[in-house]
Structure 1
Amino acid sequence: MTSPAAETPPIHLLVDADACPVREEAVKVALRHGIKVTFVSNSFFRIESDPLVEREIVPGNFDAADDRIVELVTSKAVVVTADILLAERCLKAEAAAVMSHTGKPFTHDSIGMAVATRSIMADLRAGGAQMGGPAPFSRQDRSRFLSALDLAIVRLKRHG
């Protein structure tokens, strides 16, 4: 018979690393908590060398990195992504937490509206509407991300 601890997967931080502005911050938080962090991308990038830090470069189509992240999701996974459709897939795969690189959480309650808004904006752009892009990434965004990630991991450690 196995113990309950053996059946529970460890906390794992998964980062959609292509164009992610908080890779260093994710490493910092993961190492502080002693958890594994896996960066998944379609292209090479430099990252800290540590046994808890893993980089997976996924060849193939545009969605290959997203598919790999969803494969890695467990009930103890914290996922960082700006991709709303990937966030939705991770929530459906029962990730413990999903957040953007600004620390904004994606939840089962909020993801439907985020997907709908994304679809409306895509339709408007396809129709020729001139839309502004997202606001530039700021120090406040970085700070919110650090706080949100730390809080998500602390909650998982306390409440499983």
Structure 2
Amino acid sequence: MSPVTILIDADACPVKDEIYRVADRYRAEVRVVSNAPFRIPDNPRIKRVVVSDGFDAADDWIAEAAEALPPKTCVVITADILLADRCLKAGAQVLKHNGEAFTAASIGGAIATRAIMADLRAGMDGVGGGPAPFSKADRSRFLQALDRVLVGLGDEGSIL
């Protein structure tokens, strides 16, 4: 049996501290993947992975790590839809920072919406809003979702 590993797309992740706390409770391994170093807790199960600042370097590292891990032992935290797609294909569970799960059933629609929004933004010459501000409710939903995923993986035989 393999421990669960949580891979964090960390450069814009607003829930790193929450992940550390939940991972510690479940004794999960954590990899904090970024283009720049972040402070991480002094915990042997939490490791910092600083990749080059090359385009998609962090995404490539995360997707390759997800493929290399045993089935049903990987959780990826990202808001990047294309990375989520790659990780789902590798067999990982994938959560957005607000707790929403990317699934095989939802990823196609997310990719299509991403393409439509890119086209709309291209025609607006930089005018328009961005995503809604991250809220306490988003943080709470994320914590509940991560807990659910880790419990589910434990039920499937991983050691937690």
* TM > 0.5 fold call: yes
Distance in 1, Cα, partners of 2:146 & 2:45: 17
1:156 is aligned, of 145, 153, 157, to 153
The answer to which structure, 1 or 2, has the higher relative contact order (CA under 8 A, 6+ apart) is 2
**What is aligned with 1:86?**
83
Distance in 2, Cα, partners of 1:52 & 1:112: 33
Whether 2:132 is the aligned partner of 1:98: answer no
Q: Report sequence identity in percent.
A: 56
Whether 2:44 is the aligned partner of 1:51: answer yes
Q: By how many angstroms is 1:19 displaced?
A: 1.3
Unaligned runs of 5+ residues in structure 1 are none
Bigger drift between 129-138 and 113-122 goes to 129-138
1:115 is aligned, of 98, 111, 117, to 111
1:125 is aligned, of 121, 124, 134, to 121
Q: By how many angstroms is 1:104 displaced?
A: 0.3
Runs of 4+ in 1 over 4 A off after TM superposition: none
Give the 5 Å matches for 1:35-74.
35-73=28-66, 74=69
TM-score calculated relative to the size of structure 1: 0.91
Q: Please list the CA deviations of residues 116-145 of structure 1 after superposition, one character each: whole Å capped at 9, or x if unmatched.
A: 000000011111264321110000100110
**What is aligned with 1:29?**
22
Unaligned runs of 5+ residues in structure 2 are none
Q: By how many angstroms is 1:94 displaced?
A: 1.2
Q: By how many angstroms is 1:12 displaced?
A: 0.6
Q: By how many angstroms is 1:45 displaced?
A: 1.3
**What is aligned with 1:144?**
141
Q: What residue identity is the alignment partner of 1:15?
A: I
CA RMSD after TM alignment:
1.1
Q: By how many angstroms is 1:62 displaced?
A: 2.2
